[in-house]
Homo-oligomer: A and B are copies of this chain.
Amino acid sequence: MRILVTNCNTTERMTKEIEAGARAAASPGTEIVAMTPAWGPESAEGWLDSFLSAAAVLDLLRGIDENSFDAVVLAGFGEHGREGARELLRIPVVDITEAAAHLACLLGRRYGVVTTLDRTSGMIEDSLHTAGVLPNCVGVVGTGLGVLELGDEQRTASALVTAARRLRDRGAEVVVLGCAGMTGMDRRISTELGVPVVDGVAAAVRLAETLAGLSLRTSQIGSYAPPLPKTRRWHR
């Protein structure tokens, strides 16, 4: 099993962290290949960044040899691009946003998402809605820390716990870490809060393995039919 994990931004350091998180979560025998888009934002924090990231990630994906991978994981929490990747590829595509939500639904009656800046909350909600897993989500709460400010683990943990407590008050029984850059902090936060904490990268890697393992591939009829042949210019 070989899974391609794409970072949604151009920050190589984050790709490394995501790769490490993916490897830690993968089953024995699964190979993780992490890639960074050649262009796009250095971090995605809002719709402008997200649309730019989507095009850059799709540009990356159209360049790979699909036969070398069993599945793709899109490691941008709340970022756009998911449905386009499903049109482009026949192998399964799993986005870390939906993946975390799917697992969270199995662990408690309601879940909540802690993320970076509040400005991205709406985008995450929309992504969960489109993925069909919004009903059991009680909210998306920001920590006030930007994507590239998550390095100070102590500060990040403290901010995550504060945000998670607000979700708890709204009825969340499970917490989702809403940024690929938070990968690896799930156990620490879980211990502190006493609730299950789901990391999207880990969830997505396992779900990608699951789909590939069961020989399930993206539907080719309707929404995700292969893109029509036409002229597409990918940059100026």
Contacts and interface: CB of A to CB of B under 8 A. Distances in A.
B130 A174 contact: no
Contact of A27 (B27, B41, B220, B228): B27
A53 to B, nearest CB: 9
B236 A216 contact: no
Interface stretch (A86-94, A151-159, A177-185): A86-94
Given A38-B236, A108-B222, A126 B133 contact: no
Interface string A23-43: 001010000000000111111
Interface in A38-94: 38-43, 45-52, 54-56, 58-59, 80-81, 83-84, 86-88, 92-94
Contacts of A218: 107-108, 196
Nearest to A51: B54
Contacts of A40: 232-233
Interface in A127-157: 129-136, 146
Contacts of A222: 108-110, 118-119, 122, 171, 173
Interface in A97-136: 98, 102-103, 105-110, 118-119, 122-123, 126, 129-136
A184 to B, nearest CB: 13
A118 to B, nearest CB: 7
Contacts of A219: 107-108, 173-174, 195-196
Interface of A: 10, 25, 27, 38-43, 45-52, 54-56, 58-59, 80-81, 83-84, 86-88, 92-94, 98, 102-103, 105-110, 118-119, 122-123, 126, 129-136, 146, 168, 171, 173-174, 187, 194-196, 198, 202-203, 206-207, 209-211, 213-225, 227-228, 230-236
